[in-house]
Structure formats: structure tokens, C-alpha cells
Structure 1
Amino acid sequence: MKKSLKLCLSVALMVLSMVSFAQQHKRTDANVYGHVLAGGEHLPFATISIEGTTIGTAADETGHFQIVNLPLGTLKIKAQALGYKSQVVEVEFKKGESKEVHFELEKDVLGIDEVVVTGDRNEKNRTESSTIVNTLTSKLFATTQSVTLSESLNFAPGLRMENNCQNCGFTQVRMNGMEGPYSQVLINSRPIFSGLAGVYGLELMPANMIERIEVVRGGGSALYGSNAIAGTINLILKDPVNNSYEFGASTGLVGVGVDGGGDAAEDHTINMNTSLVSSDGKTGLAVYGFFRDRAPFDANDDTFSEISQLKNTTVGSRFFHRFSARSKVSLDFFNIKENRRGGDKFAYVEHEAGIAEALRHDITTGAVTYDQFFREKDLWSVYVSGQKVDRNSYYGAEQSLSDYGKTKGFTYTVGSQYNANFENSNITFGIENVAETLKDRKLGYLDVDNAVVNPDGSVTIPHTDNTTVADQDKNTLGIFSQYEIEFNRLSVSVGARFDRYSVKDKDHGGKETGNVFSPRVTLKYDIKEHLQARASYSKGYRAPQVFDEDLHIETSGSRQVLHENADDLEQETSHSYMASLDFNKKIGNTFVGFLVEGFYTKLDNPFANEYGEPDADGTVIYTRVNAKEGAVVKGLNMELNVVPSDKLSVKGGFTLQSSKYKEAQEFNEKKFFRTPEKYGYFTLDWRPAKNFGISSTGNYTGSMLVPHNDEVLVDSDSFFDLGMKFRYDIKLNGAKLQLYTGVKNIFNSYQDDHDRGIDRDPGYLYGPLNPRTIYFGIKIGNLL
């Protein structure tokens, strides 16, 4: 731990040293000003940047912009905005001269000109990327009324969110039919989302702190390391690009009109965003905040919750400063404090309830990145990021005094990357070290006889017989490189990553090490200007470490389920193949986009569970072992995007898949559990009037096999979750006020056979995350 901190500090000091010696940008009095138009009207808040530099700004609410003291010589000025094709203008600047530049942007309703960074670890237009990158934007967050990250991930091909616990709401995202640990979650392209934070992390992250989410299915491990077998989910945080503000508040009623259920649960949220940029554009600061208070919901009126009680407070900021035209330092910081609890008797302390699964999280994340341009557009980046997680927990039943726990985790990433660009090719190479420490303890019995009354009247009860459940260090040193070259219509990308990992289990005295070489090859061919074909192969792996689900405990009055790794657990290896056709064209007056993507993943030594028998205390051990004969996950993702006019857009996706072990596992079954063979979504947005909009969303979840009490397999029903939203905008002197209301899961397509009572199986859960929910809210800001 101390060595890790010293290494982080050394790299941070190196970055600061580079920054302090960075060449200051001299005053040239070479300025540019102008405006951005679209369809003959001024376009507000478009981003203006100078290629090959760190210089940028944003147009104001009238569509006008100005940048002062530009470097001398010929510069490429780029204008871009969400939903429009970018435009580049080349201008020569001399000392003391001001130039006027006007942009006329063309609509990009299908998003084919979006800039993405995840596919190749380098900025590219979506159609130029060697891999398919799906982007979930703030517009989708608003359309689907996504309060947190978890609520938006159902609206991308191949992705499906699920709740795995009635008591505490443990969620995970499945990508291409594989469990959450097969997907790599990144924050600003850095793998710092720890296994401990990942237990409840997708519901912890508020949507208002995220600029966009980039999703890459498969093929990511050559660049991003382990846990990218199924794909990569990259959270891009909001950047300060102009002076802006936004405030919002909403209230929801979860479980309205549910037959046989308890009272509807109130769900209140407040969020705010603001950013400030200096007049010379050299310094910017974005600040965001989020608060949520959700009551528990009882779906079958048995006094035990199916949706957990939740309180979340998040604050964060993003800061940048340009030391010269070609260098910039960026800093990120956010803190999440969350209390969640499920079970019964919420007015009592945890150990007085029949069942209580309660967590208190304190998550602090920070990052520093230094960017320096060389040559025309080469970019060198040095970065340090870290995440500290403190978790106090209680997983217990029937007034148990022994089930309090305390868990601490620290993850950091230190790395450097260089992107070299040539006329028809580019090369990316870098090195990074990712380390994680985890200590999980059970605090033992509460010693009530030795309780102490504090001066303020509160009572402190000491614990006895502390037990270490997990004490693990993991370190991965990775070297990666990728080369891409274009031959007319053909683009070839070849990449590889070499990882040296070690997993040290202090509690059991064991250490696992491994050297893994992960190649990646991708071909992209432009059949037509509007039709692209892609094919790829990638190799990935998962080390035998503690995963997020190992830190979640299922509790009932009759048993408690714990997860652990077998002593002889070996590394899991994957071989992934993908092929796709991507069609985007205007047909008449209608824009049409269609994507079809096939995937085939072969897993060697895949992880599987062996279910143990309950001991005298009712404890059941799920032991992770290797399924020696392997497994195969294969299927087809499809996405259709139709935009008949500026007022109407429709998008939908569907997945057909099969996930099977080659030999039968538990219940003599080869199929993966909790994995439907069919699922999909749609979104519709219609603006019948300038200030009035209607949105509709839907999610289909096919039937799946769900274990019940480790005794039987249940073939679940299929579900269709339909939602509607109405919004009305009011202009307010340069700002906008928005009023909205809507319903999620209108027909209450929701599981109706939840287990009841204290001896229920809390893991017997499937289908949509929420029952029928009515919500309404208000937003005000100058960027709406």
C-alpha cells in the first residue's frame, strides 16, 4: 500500500514538474471570431477547437464565439456540436491580425460523425473507428428519465441491466450474454472502477455527472486489460467548455397501483451542474452535485422490501488549465456517500430486524492528466488516477449480532500513452500499472454488556472476535500498442497488450502470477460511402481474483450465501470473434441507419459455481471453479435508427444469443443462468410543437433460467416494459425552464412470484428493475 502511494506521488510530482516548466503561451494578438449556423439559424453552444492544440471554446447562446492570442501560422479550426457534422476551416494567422470565420454545420441525425475515443484509445469519428462504438448521450438520459447510470444501459445493443438481490439491490450489466465482471468499466478511459465499488457502482453514478457513455462490445482487452472480454463501458465526465448552469428536481412514485403490493415508494432527486471558463479560455472549472432519497418498496405486502431504501449524495468537479497552446493539465474529483438498506423494520437498527442488508459507502475518486502535443497532431498523455472505497455493512437475519462488516479498498492507475499520427496511418503505444488492495472483515459479535454511553447521549457498542474474510493485493503491469493503416477503402488495425499480473491472498497465504499476451486484429472495409463492413479477433483473460459479486452476501432467515474461489482456480481465457455491417443513408427525406453484428466468444477454463450444502448455521458456500470443457457465447445484435424529420426519431435494438457451457453444470444444465436468449429496446422522440415533446421507451426481456433456493430451476416469463414522457419548455431571458412528467413500466410488467417472508430466497429475482413508476420534475438552465 505504501509503495503504491509512493509511486502515485512520484508520478504526480513528475506531472507537476512538467507543468511548471511548460512553455507559457505568449501574447500574439492573433484572434479569431465568428458564428456558427445550422439551417440558416445560429447554433448555440457549438464547440470550437484548434486541431493539434489544447485551445478551445464554445459559442454562446447566440451562436457567436471568439478566441484570442492564437499561435502564429496556418491553423485548422474545427466546429462541432451534438447532432451535427463537424466542419474544419484552415486559416493563416499573423501577429496582430484578427480573422472572421463562419461555420455552416450540416445535420448528423444518425450520429455517424460523432467523435469517440474508446474504440482505438484515440479521438476519431464513429465511422472511422475500427470497432463499432455506441454512444449514449445526455439526450438519451433525458428521454429515458435515467437518474443514474444503471437506468440508461438497457438502451444499447447487447446490454441488459438486472437486479440480483431483493434485499440490497445488487445490480450488474450483462453484455453479449456474459456477467458483469466480463465487462470493463472505465472512467475517462481509465480502469479505476474497483471490484468493491462495482458491487453497487452502476446505481451509484448519477447521470448528471456524465457527458456520454461509450460502449464497445468485445475486442477491448488488447488495449484496456483484463475484464474486457465482453466489452468496455467508458464513462466520459462533463468538461467545462463554456459558462453554463443547470438545476433539476424530480419526484417519483415507485409501485403505483401494484396489485397485492404495499404503498408506493417515494423517490426524490435533486441535481445541479455549473461550469465557468476564463475569458482567455485557458482555465475552466465544472462542478456537479446530486442527491437522492428513495424509500423501500414492498411488492407483495409481506413487510420485506423488493427495492431497497437508498440515500445518495454526490459532489464532484473537473478542472483544466492550459499552460501553452499545446499543453494542458486536467484534474477530476468526486465523492459519493451512499446509504442503502433492504429487508424489514427500517425504523430499527440493523441487528433488530428480521432481515437487514445495509451498506454505507464512502467513495472518493481523483485523477490528474497531463496532455502535450508534438509535431502536428501527435499527443502524449501522462495520467494518475485513484479510487478509495470505505464500506460499512451488515448482512444478517433474525437479530444476529455477528454480521457487521467493514471493507476497505484502494485502486490506482498510473500510465503514459503516445498517439503518433501519419498521413495514412497512426500508432498508439503506452504503459500502465493498475493496482488494487482489498481488505474485508467481519467485525464479530456486538459486546452489549460493555456498551459505552457517550457525552452526547449516543451509545457505542464494541465488537469482539474480528474475522478477516479477504485481504488481497492485485497488481497488473501492462504494455500495449496498436498500429492502424488505411489502404483506400480498407483499414487494418493490429494491436497487442502484454500483462504481468500478480494476485496475493494474504489471508490464505497464496499468490497467483501470470503473463498474458492479448492480440487484437480488426478489419474495416468501406463497401460504399454509406455501408461499412468490420471483422475482428481479440484475446482476453480474467485472473482468479476477488470479484464484485464475492463481496455481496445473500441473506435470509434460513441461510446465508457466501462466495469464494477454489484453491486451484486457474486463469480464464477468451477468444472473441466479431463481424458487422453498418448502413447509414438518407433515403428520400428519411435518414436510415441499420447495424447488424455477429459475435462468437470461446471461453477456456471459464468460471462456474459449485453450490455447497448448508452447514449447521445455514451458511451456503458458492465456490468458483473452472469448467474444464469450456463455454461458448454467440449471437446477433441488431440496431435500427430511423429519422423521418427534425421532429421525429425512432431507434431500436434487438439481441438473439446463446450462452452455454460445453458440459452440464449445476442442475445438469448447460445454459448460463439469468441469461435470456432474446432481449431488446426502443426509444421514440416526437416534437409536435416547438416547445412540447413526447418520448416513449420500451424494453423487452425474454424468458431465462433462474435458480430458486438452489433446488429448482425456474423458466421465467418474458416482459415488456413500456414508458412515456411529456415535456414542455418555457424560454426565460437566455435560459429555459422545462416541466416534465411521465410513467415507467405503464402496464406493470414485473415479476409477480417474489418469495415471501423471512426465509425467502433474495436471489430469486428477474425481469425489469422497477414496477410501474410515475414521476414529474423541473429543470432550468441555459443549455437545455
Structure 2
Amino acid sequence: MFKKTSIAFAVFLTIQVHSAQANAQDQTADIQAQAQAETEAETKTENNSIEKIAVYGVRQRLEKAGMLSDSIMKTEVISAELMQHKNAVNLTEAINNTPGVRVSNECSMCGVKRIMLNGLRGEQTTILVDGLPVHAMIAGYYAVDAIPTTGLDRIEIARGAGASLIAPEAIGGTINIITKTAIENSATVDASIGENGNRKVGILGTGITDDGRTRATLIAQYDNRDQVDEDNNWVNEAPNQDNRTFSLRVSHDLTDNDNVIVRYANIQSEVFGGPMLGNTFADGTATSVAKVLSSFDDIESDMLFEGGDVRNNFIGKAWETTEWVNTQRDELSLSWLRALNDDWNMTLSASYSDHTQDSFYEGFSYYAEDTMWYVDARFNYFLNESHLLTFGVDKRSEEMRSHSSGETNPAYVSDAFDYDVLGLYLQDTWQTTDALEINMALRYDHVQADFIDTSKPGKEIDQYILAPRIDMSYSHNEYWISRLSAGKGYRAPLSFFETDHGVLDAYLGFEIDVDKLERSRSVTYALSFDGEQLSMTSSVAWTQVDNLAMLTKTKKTDETDGGVPLLTQLDETATVTTADIALGYAITDNLTLNVTAERFIYDTAFKSSYAIAPVEKRLTFYADWDINGWDLFTNLVWIGARDLSDYGYDGYNQIDSNGIVVASSKKSTHAPSYWTLDFKLSKAITDNIDLYIGVNNLFNYTQANEGESPLFYDLDGGYDVAYIWGPLRGREAYTGIQATF
């Protein structure tokens, strides 16, 4: 039978991006060991012999002992090494094109990104940091580009409803960002510059005390990218982004059996999109962001573009195409782990985040502050040699308050809300045989959601819900493993920003018609092979969602006769099915090739809910060649053609002097297939210094270069910025240096 020390740690992480698999090993640890943490000495021989001391504490010993993990489900793991190979500056760049993952760019002005798992929408993905939620409702739409890769140990992506015990609202799945744990005294600096104002400086410092009980990780990163105007019409297709992040993580062993982790992070992000800074417009020269914002006079131009055609030069006032989003988030988390005895341990955790958004959307200002508290009490108990029980209680409370220029209208309806969830959970990790392991989990939650505007009396959602999940892993032999997962999940659709990148026509408020939880069911099967040279993982996933939220335009009452956005829910059940296969082959010890093929199938209901057409077919090729101190990494991606009319695309390039669309200027609804290629070449100058150069989008393929601007007019002559189906940034070369001390 399965030993205590391995019952929960058999996670069988499937590292698909390199098509390598990491099967958890049976390991033992004495959790009643002396206070002095265990040390390992590694000796490197250069001109002189250098000794490095790696120090591990209570939490690491329990992790090795298999007493802290809570899932055996199929998980994609993006390592720190792969992030470096991709030169990923932020979270979205690190995870994009991972099997089952799509980063959707949903606005050419503000650059908002949505992280889609298993074909589901971005708001149905939950982001965790070190296993705890610190991202409130509106945090998943702006500033995900500001989450740095500096100081990350890995990113774990678990797809499917209820993929985490503490995140039942993750209908699509969870992304768990794992910070590096200090095991030695070191410092790393990574700096790069490139085209279009690309700049990055990342600093990572780790330190331990002499007694090994206290370990600290310090992370700081600055990165910037300038605006890009591929079709030279004086309006950008990709905005300027300026990000600054700082975080400090301290782990301290209070006793032989107690560990406390405290983490603080501050993220600041400013995005400016629209008129190209430095050009002269109807209201003067756009010399700075501040000048553009201060030029707002609420008097619209008769025509925005020469001849009324979005493909021609912009001739309106700078503020009329400006989208500016200034975001700040403070994150604080605390976790206390205590090993009670050989069979029991407990973890008490709490997290807090304060997310503020100050924004301007083409004349409409919007300010929101979203604060969230989360507390969790969890216990792990080895019932016997076959069963590990995990159970606990958690509570999440979120408060969002907003202000906007629409409040001057007496009919204005606020989108502010309160959201509270109290949940109980129980999980049994059962090693039935040496080959079969079963993980059964159950959550019971009380969910309350309340839009607090006086026109919305009572609580819109006040429900009790049961969310079960089961994960199974079966080893057919030493090479083949099957995994099967099934579960239910829920989510409360509360924010307009989850269904639209910004509410641009909201002087009459935010019409809300939400009174039910989104409810999902999902099933995933994966088959993996791990040989000496060849590795393979194939999987298929099916997800069904009831009460799917979507944004529409409505004229059902006099108050919304101006076309106020309506947040409502579909009556139909929506379904998406995904299938993928990832192959990796080690040609030599220094050369590895990988290929992934994916297919996403959406039903009509799901298609109607998307703001931007998602990927339907994708091929990804990776090659990693390491020889004589040189390392070459290439990433080639093919995206299949799509019929945009399936997703509601209907736009025109031109209006006449009366503001009526020109029928002959109707935009194409055919999105052609295309290829993109990135590569990075690095050279180890010394054991501590690497130089590198690289190019993103080497083929310089963008939809604007193909003659299709993301700007358009709708049938009523209204201007919008999201006719997007392809890349918006062209070729960008860069060079940099990384030094470790």
C-alpha cells in the first residue's frame, strides 16, 4: 500500500511545454527534527573552489514528505528556465501558447488581456499567488501584464472546474504563481533593451540567516513598451505600458514544527493608448499623457479620420481616442504552518488585496477600488497508510466601490457590489493500489452577491451550492499514465469589465440583469507516455456552463434608450470542448524538439458570448539547442483561419459626412491563418554572466500590416476599437544581460 510520506505528493505534474513529466517521488522526512534546518553543500570548480549552502526549512520538509499537496490532477508547469528561454517579461507572455491556454488581446487602445483556459473566458480563470487568492474581481483585466516573471520559481496551470480546493469559482481553471524560496544568499540582475522602447530591469535577491531559520526573497521589476502604430494612421494598435512591481517574501521557522510566511507586493501599471504621442491633432500637439487628459472639453469633432475612414489619418481631438488606465494593487498574505505530530498538520492563512483603477475612456472617466479579504483554516490528517484527509473552512469578502462621470445623471445606476462566500471543504486522497490513486473533494458554499445601488434593492444572489470534484491517476506501467478529472464549479458574474474592456457609453449608468450563479460541469481525460527520448501527453476536456454572463446593448426601457450596456445572462447552456496532444523528443542530450496540436470547439451559445474571437486551431513548435555555452530557443506558432461572423463581428471602415456607414467599406469577416516566430540566443560568458539577443514576431505579421485595422464603425455609425483577430505588435528585437552574484 501507499506510504504516508507519499500519499499527497503524487501530483504527477505534466510539463507539457517541454513534454517532460515529473512524477512525485516517495520521500521521508523527520518533522520532529532539530531546529537547525538541513543543509546541502554544492561545490563548483572554477579557478577557485566555491561552496554554496542551500538551506531548507519546515515547510520544504513537509512538502517533500508529501503532507501539503492537495491535488493529483493534470497540471501544466512553466519553469523559470522556460520563462527565461521565452524572454517572458510578465505573466501573459510566460503562459501564452501553453497547451489549453490562450492570452486574448481584447483592445487595441488599452491593451487589456484575458487569460483563457480550456477555451473558456478570461473571467472564468482564477489567479493564485503561492496558493492564495490575492486578485479581486476587477484585477484580472488590467495589470495582468504587470505581474512580473522576475523571482518566479514556476507557474502551475490546472484546467477544469474546481481545480483548487479554495477556488471553486475557477470554472476554466487556476493559475498558481509560485515565488522562489530562498535557499542561499544570492542576487540576480536581468536588464534588456529593445525596439519600440522595450526596456526591462529585474532584480532578485535571496538571503538566509546563519541559523537557517529565516529566508527572504526580494523582487523588483520595471518594464516598459512604447505605443505601436503599424498602419501609420496616428492611432496606435498597441498602447504604451509602464509597469513597476516590488515584492518581499519572508519565511521563518518559529520552532522545529512551525513555519510562518509573510508576503507583501505592490504593483503599479499605467497604460496609455489612442493618439500617438508627439503628433499634432485638432486640439494641439500630444506631448504627454497629462496634456492629453487635461485637454478634454466634452465637445466632439465632426469627423475623427480623414474621409471618415479609420484607415486614414486621425484628425480629431487627441482625447477622443484616448484610453488611459492607471492601476495600483497592494497584496499582503500570511500563512502559518504547524506540524502537530506525525499524522496531523494545519495551515492558517489570510490574504488581503486593495486594487484601484483610475481610468479615462474616450471622454468617460471611471474610478474603482476593489478590496478583498480571504481567510482559510486547513488541516491534513493521515487516516491510515491509504488515506490522507484534507478539510477546512474559508471565507472570502470583497467590496467594490466605483465613481464615474455618469453619476451626474439622475438615472445613473452604479456597478458597485459586495461579494461574500463562506465555504467548507473536505478531500480524501486515496491510494487504492500501487497503480491507482483517487482524489475526491467536496465544497459546500454560501454565496451572496449584492449590487448596492439604491435602484437594485435586496441581494441579487443568495445561494447555497455544493461543488464536488474527483481526480484519478492510473499507472498502466512504467511508461504510461492515465488521468481523469471531473467536477462542478460556480462563479458570480459581477463586473462589467469581465465582459467588456471598458464601458464607453455609460453616462446613464450600468444596466444590470444578473440574479444567478454561473454553474459549470467539466470532464478531462489525459494519457501520458514518458520514455527515454520520447514523451507525450494527449488530453480532451469538455465544459458546460449554465447562466453564462454576457454584455449586450438594450433599449428595453426609457432609461436605456441611449444604448446603455446591459450585463445579463444567457438562457441557453454553453459548451466548449478542447483536445490537444504534446510531443517531445530528445534528439541528443543538447537538442530537444517539441510540438503541440490543439483544437477548440465552441457551441453557438459560447460563441455569442465572446467579445473577441478565440483560437480554434493551433500548432506550436519548440526547439531548444544547448551547445558549447550557447543556447538557442525558438518558438513557432500557427493559428488557423476563423469565420468572424460566428462571433458577431460586423463592422465598417468608413462613414460619410452624415455619420452613415459606407456599405462598400464593410470589413472582412474572414480571419486568415498565420504564423509567428520568436527566437532567443544566449551565451554564457562566465558561470555568472549570460548575454542574450532575440526577436519577437520575426515575420512581422500583424493584422494591420495585412490591411485590417482593429478600428471600425458599427452599423449605427458608432466608433469602436476591438475588431481584433491577429497580432497587433510587429517585429521587435532586443538584447540583454543577466548576472548572478
TM (normalized to structure 2)? 0.80
User: Which residue, 403, 415, 423 being the options, matches 2:385?
Assistant: 423
Cα contact 2:75–2:158 (8 A) shared by 1: yes
Cα contact 1:581–1:595 (8 A) shared by 2: yes
- Which one-letter code corresponds to 2:235 in the other structure? F
Aligned equivalents of 1:724, 1:68: Cα separation in 2? 36
Matches within 5 A, 1:503-582: 503-507=449-453, 508-511=456-459, 512-546=461-495, 548-549=497-498, 552-553=501-502, 555=504, 566-582=512-528
How many residues get paired?
A: 642
User: Which residue, 414, 420, 426 being the options, matches 1:475?
Assistant: 420
- 1:364 equivalent in structure 2: 330
Question: What is the CA deviation profile of residues 307-334 of structure 1, one whole-angstrom value per residue up to 9, with x for unaligned ones?
Answer: 1111111111100111111111111011
- 1:742 equivalent in structure 2: 694
Aligned equivalents of 2:438, 2:254: Cα separation in 1? 36
* Gap runs ≥5 in structure 1: 1-47, 81-85, 89-114, 116-120, 254-264, 446-462
- 1:334 equivalent in structure 2: 265
Aligned-residue offset at 1:520: 0.9
Question: What is the CA deviation profile of residues 226-252 of structure 1, one whole-angstrom value per residue up to 9, with x for unaligned ones?
Answer: 431111111112222211110011112
Aligned equivalents of 2:508, 2:530: Cα separation in 1? 49
Aligned equivalents of 1:635, 1:537: Cα separation in 2? 15
Cα contact 1:563–1:624 (8 A) shared by 2: no
Taking a change above 3 Å as real, the CA distance of residues 138 and 637 of structure 1, as seen in their structure-2 partners, is: same
- 2:371 equivalent in structure 1: 410
Deviating more after overlay: 348-357 vs 130-139: 348-357
- 1:715 equivalent in structure 2: 670
- Which one-letter code corresponds to 2:417 in the other structure? Q
- 2:340 equivalent in structure 1: 374
- Which one-letter code corresponds to 1:361 in the other structure? T
Taking a change above 3 Å as real, the CA distance of residues 171 and 780 of structure 1, as seen in their structure-2 partners, is: same
- Which one-letter code corresponds to 1:405 in the other structure? Y
Taking a change above 3 Å as real, the CA distance of residues 510 and 701 of structure 1, as seen in their structure-2 partners, is: farther
Cα contact 1:167–1:342 (8 A) shared by 2: yes
Cα contact 2:228–2:729 (8 A) shared by 1: no
Which of the two has greater strand per residue?
1
Aligned-residue offset at 1:484: 1.6
Taking a change above 3 Å as real, the CA distance of residues 721 and 561 of structure 1, as seen in their structure-2 partners, is: farther
- Which one-letter code corresponds to 1:313 in the other structure? R
Matches within 5 A, 1:267-346: 267-344=198-275, 346=277
- 2:539 equivalent in structure 1: 597
In structure 2, the residue corresponding to 1:763 is in which secondary structure?
A: coil
Cα contact 1:222–1:519 (8 A) shared by 2: no
Aligned equivalents of 2:478, 2:513: Cα separation in 1? 54
- Which one-letter code corresponds to 2:421 in the other structure? T
Aligned equivalents of 2:712, 2:545: Cα separation in 1? 39
- 2:639 equivalent in structure 1: 701
* 2:403 equivalent to 1:441: yes
Deviating more after overlay: 173-182 vs 346-355: 346-355
- 2:284 equivalent in structure 1: none
Cα contact 2:161–2:521 (8 A) shared by 1: no
Aligned equivalents of 1:581, 1:651: Cα separation in 2? 17
Aligned equivalents of 1:769, 1:56: Cα separation in 2? 50
* 2:557 equivalent to 1:641: no
Aligned equivalents of 2:55, 2:95: Cα separation in 1? 41
Cα contact 1:441–1:468 (8 A) shared by 2: no
Aligned-residue offset at 1:224: 2.9
Question: What is the CA deviation profile of residues 483-531 of structure 1, one whole-angstrom value per residue up to 9, with x for unaligned ones?
Answer: 0211221112211001111011111334121111001122221111221
* 2:597 equivalent to 1:654: yes
Aligned-residue offset at 1:567: 2.4
Aligned equivalents of 2:226, 2:321: Cα separation in 1? 17
In structure 2, the residue corresponding to 1:469 is in which secondary structure?
A: coil
Cα contact 1:295–1:309 (8 A) shared by 2: yes
Question: What is the CA deviation profile of residues 650-695 of structure 1, one whole-angstrom value per residue up to 9, with x for unaligned ones?
Answer: 23322112111469958xxxx9961222123232110121x21111
Question: What is the CA deviation profile of residues 692-731 of structure 1, one whole-angstrom value per residue up to 9, with x for unaligned ones?
Answer: 1111012222233254456888231222211111111112
Aligned-residue offset at 1:70: 11
Cα contact 2:496–2:503 (8 A) shared by 1: no
Taking a change above 3 Å as real, the CA distance of residues 665 and 251 of structure 1, as seen in their structure-2 partners, is: closer
Aligned equivalents of 2:248, 2:624: Cα separation in 1? 31
Aligned equivalents of 1:642, 1:324: Cα separation in 2? 46
In structure 2, the residue corresponding to 1:152 is in which secondary structure?
A: helix
Aligned equivalents of 1:563, 1:529: Cα separation in 2? 60
In structure 1, the residue corresponding to 2:669 is in which secondary structure?
A: strand
- 2:306 equivalent in structure 1: none
Matches within 5 A, 1:86-485: 122-123=68-69, 130-221=72-163, 223-253=165-195, 265-344=196-275, 346=277, 347=287, 348-352=291-295, 353=318, 354-376=320-342, 378-396=344-362, 400=363, 403-421=364-382, 422-443=384-405, 469-485=414-430
Aligned equivalents of 2:572, 2:330: Cα separation in 1? 41
Aligned equivalents of 2:168, 2:700: Cα separation in 1? 39
In structure 2, the residue corresponding to 1:767 is in which secondary structure?
A: coil
In structure 2, the residue corresponding to 1:203 is in which secondary structure?
A: helix
- 1:502 equivalent in structure 2: 448
Superposition RMSD on alpha carbons, in Å?
3.4
In structure 2, the residue corresponding to 1:349 is in which secondary structure?
A: helix
In structure 1, the residue corresponding to 2:133 is in which secondary structure?
A: coil
- 2:304 equivalent in structure 1: none
Aligned equivalents of 2:56, 2:554: Cα separation in 1? 70
- Which one-letter code corresponds to 2:619 in the other structure? G
Matches within 5 A, 1:759-774: 760-768=719-727, 770-774=729-733
Question: What is the CA deviation profile of residues 317-369 of structure 1, one whole-angstrom value per residue up to 9, with x for unaligned ones?
Answer: 10011111111111101101121110115323325323111111121101111
Aligned equivalents of 1:710, 1:283: Cα separation in 2? 59
- 1:448 equivalent in structure 2: none
Taking a change above 3 Å as real, the CA distance of residues 466 and 362 of structure 1, as seen in their structure-2 partners, is: farther
Aligned equivalents of 1:64, 1:608: Cα separation in 2? 58
Aligned equivalents of 1:719, 1:707: Cα separation in 2? 21
Aligned equivalents of 1:724, 1:169: Cα separation in 2? 23
Cα contact 1:707–1:713 (8 A) shared by 2: no
In structure 2, the residue corresponding to 1:750 is in which secondary structure?
A: coil
Aligned equivalents of 1:223, 1:541: Cα separation in 2? 13
- 1:623 equivalent in structure 2: 566
Aligned-residue offset at 1:304: 0.8
Cα contact 1:441–1:467 (8 A) shared by 2: no
* Gap runs ≥5 in structure 2: 1-26, 45-49, 278-286, 296-317, 653-666
Question: What is the CA deviation profile of residues 579-623 of structure 1, one whole-angstrom value per residue up to 9, with x for unaligned ones?
Answer: 11111111xxxx221111111112223234433479999964443
Aligned equivalents of 1:552, 1:77: Cα separation in 2? 41
